[in-house]
Amino acid sequence: MFLVPLALTIYAFIDCLNTSEEETKHLPKIAWVFIILLFWIVGPVVWLIAGKTRRSAAGASGPGSWQRNRRQQWVAPDDNPDFLKSLKDDRKPDAEAEEERGRRDGTNPDDKAPPAS
């Protein structure tokens, strides 16, 4: 009789801590933690029923699909094509300016031999 409510409280507490702030409903996350811990049997039941946004089984098949969706939203800078394009665009004016300076000086930056003096 003592272990089932204790296990339920521990499960709800850990579930609440692992839930993001955006997925909690009705109250802030810290309020849910206090409800779970202070109202020993009722708190965990209320959290499991009304405290968290639940996804339907048809929409997501488990943690693997959540991780796949999460990976598609965030991309490292070296894999992000928009970021790489912005770097290329930032370098382009510098390269054009150097080439223009070379034309004025009579040298070409692609030349291997130093200019004759």
pLDDT of 35 higher than 70: yes
What's the pLDDT score for residue 48? 87
* Separation of alpha carbons 41 and 44, rounded Å: 6
pTM: 0.47
The beta-carbon contacts of 104-113 under 8 Å, at least 24 apart in sequence, are: none
pLDDT digits (tens, 9 = 90+) for 53-70: 776 555 555 555 555 555
Tell which wins on pLDDT, 108 or 102: 102
Closest C-alpha to 51, from 34, 79, 29, 78: 29
